[in-house]
Amino acid sequence: MERENNLSGDIGPDASDAFDPVAWINTPRWQASRLGLERVRDLLDRMGRPQDALRFIHVAGTNGKGSTCAYLASILQTAGYKVGLFTSPFIERFEERIRMNGANITDEELLRAVAAVRPAAEAVEAACGDHPTEFELMAAVAFEHFRACGCDIVVLEVGLGGRLDATNVIDAPEVSVICRIGLDHTDLLGDTLAAVAGEKAGIVKHGAPVVSWPQEPEAMAVIERIARERECVLTAPDFSELSVAPLAGVALRRFSWKRRDFETRLLASYQPYNAAVALTAIEVLRECGWSISEDAAFAGIAQAAWPARFEVAGTDPLTIIDGGHNPQGAEALADSLDDLLGDAGRNTVDFVMGVLADKDYPAMIRAVAPWARSFRTYTPPTPRALAAEDLASCIREVLAEWGESAEVVPCPSAADALASARQAATASDRETAAPSSAPAFAHETGAPSFAPAFAHETGAPALFREAALEIARESAPSGTVVAFGTLYAIADLKKALICRTMAPEWQKSAI
| Each residue's pLDDT tens digit, 138-149 | 999 999 999 999
Give me the pLDDT at residue 396, please. Answer: 97
Q: What is the pLDDT of residue 15?
A: 45
Res 447 pLDDT > 50 = no
Residues 6+ apart with CB under 8 A from 295: none
Give the pLDDT band of residue 183 (cuts 50, 70, 90).
Answer: confident
What is the overall mean pLDDT for the chain? 85
Output the pLDDT for position 440: 35
Give 437's pLDDT tier (boundaries 50, 70, 90).
very low
What is the arithmetic mean of pLDDT over 363-382? 95
How sure is the predictor about 31, in pLDDT bands with cuts at 50, 70 and 90? low
Residue 464 pLDDT: 45
pLDDT of residue 499: 66
Q: In degrees, to the nearest 5, what angle opens at C-alpha 181 toward C-alphas 176 and 187? A: 110
Question: Whole-angstrom Cα distance, residue 388 to residue 393?
Answer: 9
Instruction: Indicate if the pLDDT at residue 504 is higher than 90.
Output: no
Query: Rounded to an integer, what distance in angstroms lies between the CA atom of residue 178 and that of residue 158?
Result: 10
pTM score of the predicted model: 0.83
Q: What is the pLDDT of residue 4?
A: 30
pLDDT at 13: 41
Q: Is the per-residue pLDDT at 453 higher than 50?
A: no
Task: Report the alpha-carbon distance of residue 162 to residue 256 in Å, rounded.
Answer: 31
**155 vs 91: which has the higher pLDDT:** 155
The Cα–Cα gap between 152 and 56 comes to: 9
Cα–Cα dist 123/226, whole Å: 36
In this prediction, residues 235-244 reach a mean pLDDT of: 97
Query: Are 98 and 21 contacting, i.e. CB atoms less than 8 angstroms apart?
Result: no
Burial classification of residue 429, based on how many CB atoms lie within 10 Å of its CB (0-12 exposed, 13-18 middle, 19 or more buried): buried
Length of the chain: 511
Which whole-number Å values give the CA distances from 157 to 29, 31, 177, 488, in the listed order? Answer: 24, 19, 10, 18
Most confident of 45-49, 322-326, 471-475: 45-49
- Categorise residue 36: left if φ over 0, alpha if ψ from -120 to 50, beta otherwise: left
Question: Is the per-residue pLDDT at 94 higher than 60?
Answer: yes
The predicted-structure confidence for 397-423, as pLDDT tens digits, reads as follows 999 998 888 999 999 999 999 999 999
Position 90 scores a pLDDT of 86
Helix axes 271-287, 294-303, angle to 10 degrees: 150
Distance CA 193, CA 226 (A): 15
Residues 179-186: what's their mean pLDDT?
Answer: 86
pLDDT at 277: 98
Q: Is the per-residue pLDDT at 366 higher than 60?
A: yes
**pLDDT score of 375 more than 80:** yes
By the 10 Å C-beta count (0-12 exposed, 13-18 middle, 19+ buried), 363 is classed as middle
The CA distance from 443 to 433, in Å, is 24
Report whether pLDDT(326) > 50.
yes
- How far apart CA 268 and CA 272 sit, in angstroms, is 8
